[in-house]
Structure 1
């Protein structure tokens, strides 16, 4: 009976999920501290900090997709020019340790005063560290900007409703645009209705999806003749093919 109980306890121990060790927690804290040191060195252009922590074969990909090695990255280091004051702070940080390799995913907030105007940008990064006899060294980093919705404008009811119509991608695929009290809706068969907000005249976006834009186009007389869905600089063209089916709709108190 004792052997059965011991065997059962051993099996349960093997099946239990592994908990991060205290060593892993300390490693995560050390990596976060070193990462913040790297970020603190950006604004004053302290190249020696990055020189110390970067592996000789370091590879970096920035938010614009540009790939640089250690030499190329360090060559660009310099203090912020006059009129710019900034700092970068780690917000969330999580590291997973695989022996002598660590993968860290984190978010950071950039605070930049650009000639008196405040700019606030967020970034995500994925870092790969390697434990060496000299300590942990950064061997790879990929940074990406966190996109946010742009400011919106208010269009009159007449301006909004000028976009109403049926727009065709192919003879079989079309979407119906209608105006609402504060924007537009787009209804395509088999898909949920999408709501669009105005960024500029003729430029709309779906709140929460700032990577894409719906840009309406006009003919030589100024009449709206279609739109393009733009993402990552690529356009998909839809042509206006008719008026939107009539429906009961109230535009609030807007008399336009």
Structure 2
């Protein structure tokens, strides 16, 4: 029992120390991205490191290092860790961290959020980064207001299959949509004929019109792929 209590008592500080160490290393690596500091990454990556960027490109150590170049003229930016979690397993550690990127693009402010998963390995007493996978956390687009007459054009019943229907209604000056028999949710406009649901930035409702300007269908688009819904009479 005494041995167990001592082990548990040591686990907390040890874990905190490892988190402090790896978080500092990760923040330094993020700080090195804007200036294209390859030297720091080269010292930190394992020889067999693999890096998957936010576009899904899989790179070995050499390819990733070659991709590190300073931000172009007129662009400045920084990336800050906002949340950090570590799980240690002997000489290996699994890390998940959330990051916020703030960028100035020729005077215009941009904001992006990332989720990174990493594998670290202790080699000769030093922690090295063995793999990293960057995931973009999508945000909702800004919503615009559409006139009441335009909102009424979207209302109706749409069919994707004989047993699958989507209903769009106007109520209290806003659009509501949902599969028939399900929960209705507010439909917001990104722009005319392109709608979205709050909290679901991967999905868009792209409405389509005929030659007379009447809405005849919408495409439920996710990652560039469409499910087509035809408007019923």
**Residue pairs, 1:95-244, within 5 angstroms:** 95-133=86-124, 135-242=126-233
Return the match for 1:28 from 19, 23, 43: 19
Shift of 1:182: 4.6
Over aligned residues, Cα RMSD in angstroms? 1.9
Shift of 1:192: 1.1
TM-score (norm 2): 0.93
**What's the CA shift string for 1:145-189, capped at 9, x where partnerless?**
111110111111000011111111122221221123453112423
Report which of the two structures shows the higher radius of gyration computed on alpha carbons.
1
SS at 1:73 equivalent: helix
From the superposition, tell whether residues 238 and 173 of structure 1 become closer, same or farther in structure 2 (CA, over 3 Å): same
Runs of 4+ in 1 over 4 A off after TM superposition: 16-19
Aligned counterparts of 1:85 and 1:178: Cα–Cα separation in 2: 45
Return the match for 1:41 from 32, 38, 50: 32
**Residue pairs, 1:8-87, within 5 angstroms:** 10=1, 20-87=11-78
Unaligned runs of 5+ in 1: 1-9, 243-256
SS at 2:154 equivalent: coil
CA contact (8 A) 2:143 2:190 kept: yes
TM-score (norm 1): 0.85
Please say which of residues 175-184 and 58-67 is displaced more in the overlay: 175-184
From the superposition, tell whether residues 37 and 187 of structure 1 become closer, same or farther in structure 2 (CA, over 3 Å): closer
Aligned counterparts of 2:136 and 2:217: Cα–Cα separation in 1: 31
Aligned counterparts of 2:25 and 2:125: Cα–Cα separation in 1: 14
**What's the CA shift string for 1:45-71, capped at 9, x where partnerless?**
110000000011111111111111110
